[in-house]
Copies of this chain bind each other. A is one copy, B any other.
Amino acid sequence: MNGLRATLARIATTDKRAEAAARARQAVLTKPAGSLGDLEELSIRIAGIQGRADPCVDPGVIFVMAGDHGVCAEGVSAYPSDVTAEMVINFTRGGAAINVLGRQAGARVVVADVGVAYDFEASLPIYHKKIAGGTRNMAVERAMTREEAVRSLEAGIEVFEAEMAASSFGISATGDMGIGNTTASTAMASAFLGLSVRALVGRGTGIGDEALDRKIGVIEKALALHRPDPADPIGVLSMVGGYEIGALSGVILASAAHHVPVLIDGYISGAAALIAKALSPLSADYMIGAHLSGDSGHGLMLENLGLKPLLRLGMRLGEGTGAALAMILCSSACRLLNEMATFESAGVSVKQ
């Protein structure tokens, strides 16, 4: 637990002086005050996170964590578990949505196996951090042990720090791949938010009415069986979570520890952020809400996290796709702050 403990200890408040300097610069750029809307506040937040008045997020890194879910045995997903491994291979070949958007954003897409039910070739260009070949079925037993939950968090921290050591970056983004992980995320959100499963559940990759009822029943059964305590986030993760979700929580905590803004993608990343915030309330100051997912219940998670999403495009793919688009907007916000002329430098008249 050393890696996790050290990371939590390192998370500090953001830099108010850098924020104030960025805010002062926004006021003298050649535009009416406030006319860049949410991009102005975004640039100021990133300045505070990075501790510099001229923040820069380029390049970014998108961390896609992959794992399988034993609860798929209950028939909660529209796709077979095999798809998790097949998509990991698709990621390495550049054919997935996140590869396309990562290329557009000029970001590195980093993939890690933390719990996929498939033995990848050791030569596959991913981080090999498998904790187990999928979680156990939460409807009948704990998804993982407490020790495995901690290991999943530390796997995320390790991947983040290895990537940072390889080459620096200015922003991180969370992405997930794991058939069945909206089921785990809904159970986690219900535990943290104290809301009913029905208020939070969605159709994931696109299940019908019958499967949706089954999914709700399975999650309710798991919650009744384990009674997860929101004051014990490691307990929640181990009872009803997923390895890739824990690893994403680790990525978020490591981002906060290293003063890197972290874009929270969609529904699964939201569940990971709930764990991170429960372990370190300060970590929420480093999070940026990427988008409002098409999955119902996501808005309630964002509200609990205190995040306002940058995009509302009805996306519900995961992989970090919403975060990749939002990363481009974060870059816009920083570029505007850094590159725009001031009223004085451009010789433009000020407000009457």
Contact = CB atoms under 8 A, between A and B. Distances in A.
A263 to B, nearest CB: 15
A313 interface: yes
B311 A35 contact: no
Interface stretch (A62-70, A87-95, A237-245, A279-287): A87-95
Interface in A287-337: 294, 310-317, 321, 325, 328-329, 331-332, 335-336
Interface size class of A (residues with CB under 8 A): 35 or more
Q: What is the oligomeric copy number?
A: 2
Interface stretch (A77-85, A140-148, A223-231, A269-277): A77-85
Contacts of A104: 328, 331-332, 335
Contacts of A149: none
B90 A30 contact: yes
Given A93-B341, A313-B37, A335 B100 contact: yes
A349 B83 contact: yes
A38 B314 contact: yes
A39 B322 CA distance: 11
Contacts of A79: 32, 349-352
Contacts of A32: 78-79, 205-206, 316-317
Interface of A: 29-39, 77-80, 82-83, 86-87, 89-90, 93, 95-97, 99-101, 103-104, 205-206, 294, 310-317, 321, 325, 328-329, 331-332, 335-336, 339-341, 345-352
